[in-house]
Amino acid sequence: MARAGLGPGWRCLFANDLSPKKAASYRANWGDDDLWVGDVHDVTPAMLPGRVDLAWGSFPCQDLSLAGAGAGLSGGRSSAFWGFWNAILALKAEGRAPRTLILENVVGTLTSRGGRDFAAIGAALASAGYRFGAMVIDAALFLPQSRPRLFILAVADDLAPPPQTAASAPSALWHPKALLAAHSALDEQSTRSWIWWRLSAPRANVPCLADLIEDEPVGVRWHAPEETEALLALMAPLHRERIRAIAASGERRVGAVYKRIRTDRNGVKAQRAEARFDGRAGCLRTPAGGSSRQTLLLVEGDRIRSRLISPREAARLMGLDESYRLPTSYNDAYRLAGDGVAAPVVRFLAAELLEPLLGCATAAQAAG
């Protein structure tokens, strides 16, 4: 999805994933000339061509997510970062360090293991001569999905950021309190290497969740009435009252529902269904990330129906166009979306930062 977001102006020279199923989806959309399927820890410099403008790393979030196990970068999945980083160091040793790097993951990276994981990433970047900064960008600025993600952008020491890409102070839009706290805990070398990246406020015309929903979905079925009733029965009184008010209004409204474990005032844990009707879906997640799948609730007067989000709807919530080829299996398609990066966010970063940075470098080389 990073490739889809970057767009046709970029050329991919190497792509890697451990999952054969995700690799199959990549082949279906991009071919396999540049694809290697295997453990990132086994990537060698000989597999990586030349010196590239960008190396993008979206490593698994399960060990960093608040819903996951909390093992951090030493966990079995999220330790993939170190495999990626070892490949970067090997390229640097050959004088081929990528000009820019982007690392993408959940916001929990900022607080994982008391902030030590974020500090470790910063120390690694700084010690390799990269200048870097981080931003939290919510896909909800572009799409009807609440999906805040951390993006760390690093530039090689021979790449001077043009003035319009860097700010003297953080921005409330891109640098929330958790990021400020994580930045304050960096070591001295990392702090000296830090850049407050400057991004414009996006002007995207964000659709509503209802605009993306299929009337006759492919790959899922509408629940039987008793299944919908069981879902409603899991809701707290406040959520049921909200749905009754929507039904009484006669409006057609689409809501998103997650099942969560909540603790009541007596300390008893119970499963609850929680609905939102703000025109957005909740963050697409997969069971592997420690969360349930998301359910849609369609309210049309007295008629209330429910079903899972369809594969194509999930793809739309990630900003993928209608021609994007999805796996035929529901589980595989949903996992592909839930583990991905929102394509419009990638395009925004490319337009706001990557292309100005690299364009400046090209101009400087031409002048030299």
Q: Which active-site residues does the annotation give?
A: 61
> How far from 202 is each of 44, 62, 102, 351, CA to CA, in Å?
38, 29, 20, 11
Q: Distance between CA atoms of 69 and 363, rounded to whole angstroms?
A: 47
* 118 touches 133 (CB < 8 A): no
* 96 touches 51 (CB < 8 A): yes
Residue 134's SS3 state is strand
Q: Distance between CA atoms of 200 and 106, rounded to whole angstroms?
A: 22
CA angle 320, 324, 326 (to 5 degrees): 105
Residue 134: what residue type? A
> How far from 319 is each of 29, 345, 357, CA to CA, in Å?
15, 9, 25
* Burial letters 259-291, b for 16+ CB under 10 A, else e: eeeeeeeeeeeeebbbbbbebbbbbbbbeebeb
Contacts 24+ apart (CB under 8 A), 327-333: 327/21, 327/24, 327/25, 330/219, 330/220, 332/21, 332/25, 333/219
Q: Are strands 100-106 and 148-155 parallel, antiparallel or unpaired?
A: antiparallel
H-run or E-run covering 154: strand 148-155
What CA dihedral angle connects 307, 260, 174 and 352, to 10 degrees? Answer: -30
